[in-house]
Structure 1
């Protein structure tokens, strides 16, 4: 299964798993999945985190990070904005 297909499958599982948590929103950003909990009752945050972690147990090549009221699921590769910029600059210099 290729990466995009795997992310779509995880997205679908997260949508299904979190639908019982009012206010939770799962977003598919193609290369990253975001589970927003800004509109979730604060008492339910830990339940939502457990739901997300239960899905990710099946996918050891994905990692979970947390931002401002968002859980993000990303591949376990060393990639950040700086490396992305370097990649783009190198690609543009090839022309």
Structure 2
């Protein structure tokens, strides 16, 4: 999926993916092509290179399918969770 905003084009990877899952796939593919005695880049180097070389490749954010009323209710519950009396009034 591509999305354009004022800062440029972004290519989004599926929501279920993350840096760790992509790194694991990278390692698997690396070892298919190379001998296991060869050194592979570390996870931190992988992330650093990702941000430096392909900053327009991002992960699709989780979508919310809540209606406006439910979003308001959720926000009220979050705000009231430190006050049990207020929380119980909103909950009912």
TM-score bucket of the superposed structures, by smaller chain: under 0.3
Higher normalized helix content (fraction of residues):
2
TM-score normalised according to structure 1 size: 0.27
Query: For the pair shown, which has the larger CA radius of gyration, 1 or 2?
Result: 2
Greater fraction strand: 1
